[in-house]
A and B are shown apart, each in its own frame.
Chain A
């Protein structure tokens, strides 16, 4: 393992009396794929918002590639190389798939290279045939891929995926898992997901969050066997 690409030090976020994220110390190695699980309200999405500058932490620091990015603007953090697929796809509804990828690729690339990246990325997410479709009219599953492709086209060092498999059919989930593994060859990823089948497909190390704090960090097998985890999280879905 090389040095950490991302590190949080005692990161906390308080909303009034609620501590959504409590003293989270989290480290991610270069090209690591980490799954982040936890029941609703565990603070996963809030953590992502802190990492991308959409929220300012109440306390603690965020280090990205050794730079302190705590409190930086969202766009400045994105420029440093953190890309995010949000929980509810955040897209330009009136624009086409191609324009999404182009906007992302064009920020750092000259026009010609940006067009190449767009074509490559379209191929990669399997949407070449829908390149000129207006995104507002696509199904939820396809929108998820468009957002993923948009993030990919910007080639960020670290990619955050918030529930990338939500709203997908079984086949789509499998394809997404394959895509995530493929992305992981060149990029570090943190994936938040509720779909345990999906997590099993991609996970090596899993971090479990509960009530804003990190409960446990271990391999997928051990996590599944852990009784505390079962109590706070899996236990809620006991029968399945």
Chain B
């Protein structure tokens, strides 16, 4: 099994995240701070797929659909209300409800994994095309013009709850995103250690056996899928805030495949893995994107292939295993 990190691992990861959150604003300039803010927001997105796929065994190829819905739900609501509190709530609730209704048809319709991947991918691409074709005055929700492929600029960014006049500055924004990352990370660990979480893991291992023990597999899958949708929506909301901008690229194929690559590179079935995978890939994207050494997508493709072929478990489980072998007590059996 892909094991849960031992508690010291969770504690160490949390401590590291808190240390980064406290130290970074003191040592980096504003541009780098903004970079790290978006990295942290995308880490939350990575966690959402990490839990749905790595623990729930649900290969969702369209996690970006919920990310994008969260971003657009925030944008439309924030423009209409001129205030961010309700917008943040909707940015989580709308994608979660959408995931619940999509999941209802997929899980209660007993679709197999392959169809699930195809459907979720199609859904995000439908959103991509849909939002791309919303240019013009006709396409507006209340005061908010959707603007098609140009996207929605100048969004009102996060303010203190109930106080539209008090907008968060970049440092506060960074603290907030890091705090949410830690909360999501710890919350998911707690959930996976609970009865519900252990049933979800058992379903990944053997659906039939779970049913024969009296667990409703469809319901458990639906709940974890919905939760993943909500978390992805939260990440989308933070992403939209980071640039005060949202465009249909949040639904694009590049976006959705990126999330999958983060999880594969970092390690399926862990929560630290998707975070690490996201950070590495985002760092590389930024580096290659600015220096024009080579085509970023090409490099991504190569990294993806290398990992699938040579490090199929991903970085975190592989390193944990090597570490256990080198430093841990000798073990007769290695856990697969």
Given A92-B202, A94-B2, also A104-B213 (CB < 8 A): yes
- Which of A25-33, A73-81, A191-199, A208-216 lies at the interface? A73-81
**21 intermolecular pairs with C-beta atoms under 8 Å apart:** A73-B216, A74-B208, A74-B212, A75-B216, A75-B217, A78-B211, A78-B213, A79-B214, A84-B212, A92-B202, A92-B205, A92-B206, A94-B205, A95-B205, A103-B198, A103-B199, A106-B195, A108-B214, A133-B333, A136-B336, A137-B336
Q: Are B212 and A52 in contact (CB under 8 A)?
A: yes
How many residues of A are counted as interface, with CB atoms below 8 angstroms from the partner's CB atoms?
Answer: 30
For A94, give its contact among B1, B195, B198, B209 (CB under 8 Å).
B1
Chain B 107-144 near chain A by CB (<8 Å), digits 1 or 0: 00000000000000000000000000000000000000
Given A95-B201, A95-B205, A103-B198, also A75-B211 (CB < 8 A): yes
**A228 within 8 Å of B by Cβ?**
no
**A83 within 8 Å of B by Cβ?**
yes
Residue ranges of B at the interface with A (Cβ–Cβ < 8 Å): 1-2, 195, 198-199, 201-202, 205-206, 208-217, 333, 335-336
Quick one: which of B1, B201, B206, B214 has the most chain A CB within 10 A?
A: B214
Chain B residues with CB under 8 A of A91: 206, 209
Docked complex Cα distance between A137 and B195 (Å): 24
Chain B residues with CB under 8 A of A73: 211, 216
Docked complex Cα distance between A75 and B209 (Å): 10
Output the nearest chain B residue to A94 by Cβ-Cβ distance.
Answer: B1
Quick one: which of B2, B211, B216, B336 has the most chain A CB within 10 A?
A: B211
Counting from the closest, the 4 A-B pairs by CB-CB distance are A94-B1, A78-B214, A92-B205, A74-B211
Chain B residues with CB under 8 A of A111: 195
Output the nearest chain A residue to B205 by Cβ-Cβ distance.
Answer: A92
Docked complex Cα distance between A78 and B1 (Å): 26
Output the nearest chain A residue to B336 by Cβ-Cβ distance.
Answer: A136
Chain A residues with CB under 8 A of B1: 93-95, 134
B215 to chain A, nearest CB (A): 6
Docked complex Cα distance between A90 and B203 (Å): 12
Chain B residues with CB under 8 A of A95: 1, 201-202, 205
Docked complex Cα distance between A104 and B212 (Å): 10
Q: Are B213 and A154 in contact (CB under 8 A)?
A: yes
Given A107-B215, A136-B336, also A90-B205 (CB < 8 A): no
Q: Are B214 and A154 in contact (CB under 8 A)?
A: yes
Docked complex Cα distance between A133 and B198 (Å): 17
Q: Are B201 and A75 in contact (CB under 8 A)?
A: no
Q: Are A107 and B214 in contact (CB under 8 A)?
A: yes
B257 to chain A, nearest CB (A): 27
Docked complex Cα distance between A153 and B208 (Å): 17
Output the nearest chain A residue to B201 by Cβ-Cβ distance.
Answer: A95
Chain B residues with CB under 8 A of A163: none
A95 to chain B, nearest CB (A): 6
Output the nearest chain A residue to B206 by Cβ-Cβ distance.
Answer: A92
Output the nearest chain A residue to B215 by Cβ-Cβ distance.
Answer: A75
Quick one: which of B195, B209, B335 has the most chain A CB within 10 A?
A: B209
Chain B residues with CB under 8 A of A106: 195, 198
A75 to chain B, nearest CB (A): 5
Chain A 11-26 near chain B by CB (<8 Å), digits 1 or 0: 0000000000000000
Q: Are B213 and A92 in contact (CB under 8 A)?
A: no
Chain B residues with CB under 8 A of A84: 212
B307 to chain A, nearest CB (A): 21
Kindly list 12 other residue pairs between chains A and B, CB separation below 8 angstroms, not including A86-B208, A92-B206, A136-B336.
A75-B215, A75-B217, A79-B214, A83-B212, A83-B213, A90-B209, A91-B209, A95-B202, A95-B205, A103-B199, A103-B213, A134-B333
Docked complex Cα distance between A154 and B336 (Å): 27
Q: Are B212 and A78 in contact (CB under 8 A)?
A: yes
Chain A residues with CB under 8 A of B210: 75, 103
Chain A residues with CB under 8 A of B195: 106, 111
**A54 within 8 Å of B by Cβ?**
yes
Q: Are A107 and B206 in contact (CB under 8 A)?
A: no
- List residues of A (108-164) whose CB comes within 8 Å of B's CBs: 108, 111, 133-134, 136-137, 150, 154
